[in-house]
Amino acid sequence: MSTLLKRLWVLGLALAAACGDGGPSKATAPSLTSITVSGSDLLLIGQSEAFIAVDNTGSALTTPWWVTDAPSIVAVDGPTGRVTAVGIGTATVVATNSGVRGTKTVRTLPNFTGTWSGQYEDTRCEATGGWADARACLNDPWGDLGIGFIRMTLTQDRDTVSGRMSLLSPETGISGGVSMEGTLTFTGTARNQVVNVEFANVRFELSQNGEMTGTFEQVYTRPDFTGTYRVYDKLRTMHRSN
């Protein structure tokens, strides 16, 4: 074999070995095509939660950027995704990475949890049946319109509220909920040996400074009376003590 042929033969072997022994090929990382945002769909004002962005493979993204379309409803920390409810309403939280977006709708509500105490004011009354015959709106003890004390202990789970309420009448259990507009409504009936008092048309709200405002009605009934005695009330002061 000539020197030239030997060189070509050795070169061919080397090229064949190089082509056949290139080592394991690196797998191509899957491209980011979608983002799913994980977090609560309802937060009470003051609550804070770190949301998570997950890619289309199920892995958590480490460097998404976070924003919201309603900063007056929820505040969002851009680098960390921590969402804080600051106002009443609905907001969209957005996570962005490499031009891909994921969204989560969050509803926010006021937090009525706590022990509340204050004063309420009778504004007017109506009496029917036996209550009207007894001139309930004019005579004591039922018609003494004025100012009374009110105390409530409330627990809130999402938009459901329960607890206890007491005026001058016996303490009663109450249950209700918070509307999308942030209004607390509930019902309850206090009873003693003489009279039943139903709390009706309750509409309480939280002001910006944390005080509770609103109106409610007390509906009195007695087994020995026909009709009802209805007192219309409004909160004068109502503060949370814890």
One of 2.60.40.10, 2.60.40.1080, 3.30.1490.190, 3.40.190.80 is the CATH number of 32-109, namely 2.60.40.1080
Name the CATH topology of 114-240. Lipocalin (2.40.128)
Predicted pLDDT at 25? 54
Q: What is the pLDDT of residue 168?
A: 66
pLDDT of res. 18: 47
Q: What is the pLDDT of residue 26?
A: 58
Looking up tokens 């942030």, which residue turns up? Answer: 182
Predicted pLDDT of residue 5: 42
pLDDT at 9: 45
Note down pLDDT in tens along the chain; length 242 residues. Answer: 555 444 434 445 444 444 455 555 555 667 889 999 999 999 999 999 999 999 999 999 999 999 999 999 999 999 999 999 999 999 999 999 999 999 999 999 999 999 999 999 999 999 999 999 988 888 755 445 688 899 999 999 999 999 999 986 678 999 999 999 999 999 999 888 888 999 999 999 999 888 999 999 999 999 999 999 999 999 999 999 86
Residue boundaries of the structural domains of the chain = 32-109, 114-240
- The predicted structure's pLDDT at residue 171: 83
Q: Is the pTM of this model over 0.75?
A: yes
214 and 165 Cβ atoms separated by less than 8 Å = no
pLDDT attached to residue 242 = 67
Give me the pLDDT at residue 35, please: 96
